[in-house]
Amino acid sequence: MKTTDNTILITGGGSGIGRALAEAFHTRGNRVIIAGRRQAALDEVSAAHPGMATAVLDVTDAQDIDRFVRRIEREHPALNVVINNAGIMRAEDWTARTVDTATAQATIATNLLAPILLSAGLLPQLRKQARSAVINVSSGLAFLPLAITPTYSATKAAIHSFSESLRHQLRNTNVEVIEIAPPYVQTELMGAQQASDPHAMPLGDFIDEVMRILETVPEAVEVLVQRVHRQRFAAEQGQAGYRELFAQVNGAR
């Protein structure tokens, strides 16, 4: 995809990777709309970047997604890129006598069902543009799961699979399907301590590398920073190699 002169919608744009992507695309001359649940968080971002638009959206509410799609069609008819970035990541204890499935349900609704519903709702608008793209943010954990976040890892594996199939179905249309698979990044996805964890990739470094890939490899369908390669290609190490990597990742936790 081209990285300039787009109208881009980013869910979860009020913080973390979503906000950083919004800022990076905005500085490159794109029209950016950030969506999220909290207007105050969106306003903070847009105040720092005049011209950036905002729109409140509860991605877990199918009716709100329908309302949101109609608003985007009305207010931003030139929309040609949607970045499905909103997500939650919470630990789960499946060793408990009674497993609380509320986290699993919320994670599936936010990380998997929402991108599917939003993409379906916006595809007719994207198909009207000369060139457009659906960008899904998955995770390195789609390929090598973190056992303490089983549903999160599963939803990201599903997003990878969904992206593969959607790309194939839309291969003869004007809509590209791109997947960004982050490694462990310094955000507050699992709490404030993650934002300063020295084991996590600095957010600025991650965004710089992502944008560099998009700019230099415009035909890329998977955007993989070097730091995520170990996870992304874990299966290529064979069963023994994969099991060793899985033990390293999860044993340390």
Beta bridge partners of 134: 82, 177
Q: How far is CA 194 from CA 38, 197, 203, 232, in A?
A: 21, 5, 11, 21
Name the DSSP class of 110. I
242 is catalytic: no
The angle formed by the CA atoms of residues 187, 192 and 197, to the nearest 5 degrees, is 65
Residue of 25, 68, 152, 206 marked catalytic: 152
Q: How far is CA 129 from CA 13, 65, 194, 229, in A?
A: 23, 21, 39, 33
| Distance from the first to the final alpha carbon of the chain | 37
Query: How far apart are alpha carbons 72 and 60 in whole angstroms?
Result: 18
What's the distance, CA 33 to chain centroid? 15
Using an 8 Å Cβ cutoff, are 76 and 55 in contact?
Answer: no
Query: How far apart are alpha carbons 73 and 145 in whole angstroms?
Result: 37
Question: What residues contact 120, with CB distance under 8 A and at least 6 apart?
Answer: none
The catalytic site residues sit at 152
